[in-house]
Amino acid sequence: MMNKKINAKTVVEIIAHVFFWIIVLGRFLHTALLRPKMSITYVLICYLLIIGIVYTNIFVLIPKLWLKNKKLLYCMICVALALVTACIEELFCIDHIRNCVLPYGTTSNYYWYVYDTYVSVTLRNGCFLMFSTLYKLYLLSAKAVQKGEKYISSLTGKIVFLGSNTSHEISLDEISFFEIRKREVTIFADSDTYIQERTFSEIEKLLPPKSYLRINRRCVIMYSHIVNYTTRNVYMTLNGEKRCLPYSSSPTYEVLQNLQKWNPSVFQNTK
């Protein structure tokens, strides 16, 4: 099951990256090359250069240099990449630029055009490197926070949420169930009701294994607060009161089977 989740997440990320490049390169970047219209071969070469430096930065330069405190060397290589890739683009397109510019201007205008284009392309490639660096560092920061939350939660027996300004913790013994709405999860606990703007898959990593059960698409319950269950409903305690939660009969969740495995003695046959 975990491999399926990882594979599904990886596929989604790949699709997101592909759509990003289609939108950026196909819609905006071609008009930002600041040179006369080129053949499809030259355009593809420029696109591959940009995509190449971005993923070289993400998967090689940042892990090998930035994260190992070789920041000066990292910055020097990024500057060199922006300069070299812009130079390669210019060399591929120089004949086309010459044929398009010289018939309508002087040699001086041609050289100024080449210079301005080179500077613009260098800055453009540098921006791609900078934004890819920010993107990667954001992902690493989010991953570090998740690891910290998981580690502290495992030590304290609580769900711990680390924020930029404040942190929050909820005792596992108090939590009755979770209500899920896209990127928002409401946590119903004996002490209070808490709302977290994150997916349940993120919160799931903070919970002990086999301590919870998903009973339908929008609800996850904690075994510790179950009073009893029938073929249609689960009865939970919340702040001393009894709550009835209907569960799905879909084979996807296998709620009744899991409840019977957990504790068959609290099952109530309504027939």
30 pLDDT tier (thresholds 50, 70, 90): low
Give the three-state DSSP class for 252.
coil
Tell me the pLDDT tens digit for each residue of 32-78. Answer: 455 556 677 777 888 888 999 999 999 999 999 999 999 999 999 99
What's the pLDDT at 130?
A: 96
Residue 183 has a pLDDT of 82
Domains of the chain: 33-148 (no CATH), 157-266 (2.40.50.1020)
C-alpha–C-alpha distance, residues 94 and 5, integer Å: 48
* Nearest-angstrom CA–CA distance, 21 and 44: 12
DSSP secondary structure string for all residues of 160-200: EEE-SS-EEEEEGGGEEEEEEETTEEEEEESS-EEEESS-H
pLDDT at residue number 224: 95
Specify the DSSP class assigned to residue 158: E
Residue 220's nearest CA partner among 180, 260, 166 is 180
> What does the alpha-carbon distance between residue 199 and residue 169 come to, in Å, rounded to a whole number?
17
Other Cβ atoms within 10 Å of 156 Cβ, number = 12
Average the pLDDT over 243-247 and give the result. Answer: 95
Out of 154-158, 242-246, 260-264, which region has the weakest mean confidence (pLDDT)? Answer: 154-158
- Identify the pLDDT of residue 1: 41
Longest dimension (CA), the chain: 95
Residue pLDDT, tens place only, 181-222: 988 999 999 989 999 988 898 899 999 989 999 999 999 999
Asked if residue 2 has pLDDT above 90, the reply is no
Q: How far apart are CA 139 and CA 149, in angstroms?
A: 15
* pLDDT confidence band for 164 (50 / 70 / 90): low
Q: What percent of the chain has pLDDT over 90?
A: 51
pLDDT of residue 235: 96
Q: Report pLDDT digits (tens) over 133-162.
A: 999 999 999 888 889 998 888 888 899 988
Phi, psi at 105, each rounded to 5°: -155, 180
pLDDT tier, 166 (very low <50, low <70, confident <90, very high otherwise): low
pLDDT at 88 over 80: yes
Q: Give 100's Cβ-side CA count (13 Å radius).
A: 13
- Short-list 134, 138, 127, CA closest to 29: 127
